[in-house]
Amino acid sequence: MIKPQHRIFAIFFLFAFGLGSLLSRLADIQVQLGIQEGQLGLALMCSSLGMLVFLTLGAPLVEKIGTKRTFIIGNIAMISLYILVAGSSVYWVVIATILMGGMAVGAMEISINVEADRLEAHIRRRIMNRCHGFWSFGFFAAALLGGFMRQFDVSPFMHMIVVFPIVALGTIGAVIGQEMAPEKPDASAEKPGIFTKPTPFILALCAVSFGALIAEGAGIDWSVIYMRDSFEIAEFVESSSLIAFTLVMALTRFFADPVVEKFGTVLMARISIGITIVGVSLVGIAPTFWLAILGFMLLGMGSSIIYPLAVSAAARRQDRPASINVASLAQTAFLVFFIGPASLGFIAESFGIRMALMAPLPLLVLGLAFAGILDESRFPSAKKSIKLD
């Protein structure tokens, strides 16, 4: 019998595999559309806008239809729309389609994190970082496949056609016959509203997360383009930056839970943000592609657990239902992603890709300053009885 945590691991993996499959081909889609970095950043901003719309309005819908149906509808809609993005040569069609794809990503973002938190409470084991580890393994698999597809000149459209049945059938197979984890007995009877207003605690969690989220997004969205523009290397080696980034991120998340349990969330958050700062700085000054890849590996290691720690803290804060706090954290954090990708694109176009990838440094310093908010002993909902898986 398949354990319930293994099913949610599979959903995290498949979600990231579909999302990462498109992002691994951004450099080729840019060439296909004949656009500059700023225009590509604008397209990514529209994806973030779609996410923000659903994260703002969608929590009640996820509560109504349930996480199981959201998994199926969200993942299949996302990869279907990405087929259209990859096959289009019209910029404004891509803009509209990627906006709708972002809404599907927002639906998945709420549902997978809420389900993971409910499952933690149900099985009494900490699995949030491991869930995000499988998300990163999905991205790694997508980056690896994308590297081979680029090396052998397979078009982004045919690439997405290959990925579609894997994501669609895999998602259906992972949830069919599955009983979702029961809802937690939240301390508050508040129901999800249209706008999940952030509390001061959620805003502090966002301050911790902003720099790591932007650094992670920069590594995912721009690493291949950075390698292409900075060094004369083969296509697969260009993609190796994303492959290395996602692999290290996946391994770090997969093994993070026991380390966090031993040393505490605050210390591990500060160490992780420090590693991210080193990685971002190295990427910005790397004279060779080997050092650049090392920088992306450090960036992936450092940024890997910050957002999962923030999500876990938001879900355990029992002032409101977990779905509201998770949606509030996600939508507020992704406000940064609303302007982040476009800003990085315009910075890259005006000042170079290296300066663009160093842009998260001030926000990472802000994260260091606010990391103490992750101390779960400071709020009454801390779960002392959660065991390791």
pLDDT value of position 338: 60
Q: Please answer whether residues 187 and 317 qualify as being in contact, where contact means their C-beta atoms are separated by less than 8 angstroms.
A: no
Whether the per-residue pLDDT at 384 is higher than 50: the answer is no
pLDDT value of position 389: 45
pLDDT value of position 386: 44
Domains and CATH numbers, the chain: 4-178+189-383 (1.20.1250.20)
Q: Look at 68 and 334; give whichever has higher pLDDT.
A: 68
Q: Please answer whether residues 258 and 129 qualify as being in contact, where contact means their C-beta atoms are separated by less than 8 angstroms.
A: no
Whether the per-residue pLDDT at 216 is higher than 60: the answer is yes
pLDDT value of position 381: 46
Amino acid making up residue 70: T
Q: What are phi and psi of 155, to 5 degrees?
A: -65, 155
Question: By mean pLDDT, which of 229-233, 254-258, 380-384 is the weakest?
Answer: 380-384
Percent of the chain beyond pLDDT 70? 90
pLDDT value of position 388: 42
Q: What is the arithmetic mean of pLDDT over 56-75?
A: 87
pLDDT tens digits for 291-336?
Answer: 999 999 999 999 988 988 888 888 777 677 777 787 788 777 766 7
Separation in Å, CA 220 to CA 3, 247, 250, 320, 341? 31, 12, 13, 32, 11
Question: By mean pLDDT, which of 64-78, 98-112, 218-232, 246-260 is the weakest?
Answer: 246-260
For 126, the enclosing helix (H) or strand (E) is strand 125-126
Cα 207 from chain centre: 17
Whether the per-residue pLDDT at 169 is higher than 90: the answer is yes
How many CB atoms sit inside 10 A of residue 57's CB? Answer: 18
Nearest residue to 192 via CA among 21, 30, 60: 60
pLDDT value of position 382: 44
Average pLDDT of the chain, as a whole number: 86
Place of tokens 């895999």: 170
pLDDT value of position 191: 53
Separation in Å, CA 330 to CA 69, 80, 100, 149? 20, 24, 18, 32
Q: Where are the alpha helices (DSSP H) in 264-360?
A: 265-285, 289-303, 306-316, 322-351, 353-357
Q: What is the arithmetic mean of pLDDT over 167-174?
A: 94
pLDDT tens digits for 366-381?
Answer: 999 999 988 876 655 4
pLDDT value of position 31: 93
Q: What is the arithmetic mean of pLDDT over 127-153?
A: 89
Q: What is the arithmetic mean of pLDDT over 199-224?
A: 89
Q: What is the arithmetic mean of pLDDT over 148-153?
A: 94
Nearest residue to 85 via CA among 77, 94, 74: 94
Q: What is the arithmetic mean of pLDDT over 142-162?
A: 95
Q: What is the arithmetic mean of pLDDT over 208-214?
A: 90
User: Quick one: CA torsion of 132, 134, 139, 145, rounded to 10 degrees?
Assistant: 180
Q: What is the arithmetic mean of pLDDT over 334-354?
A: 79
Q: What is the arithmetic mean of pLDDT over 50-72?
A: 85
Cα(197)–Cα(206) distance, rounded to whole angstroms? 13
pLDDT value of position 378: 63
Q: Look at 378 and 148; give whichever has higher pLDDT.
A: 148
Q: What is the arithmetic mean of pLDDT over 245-274?
A: 89
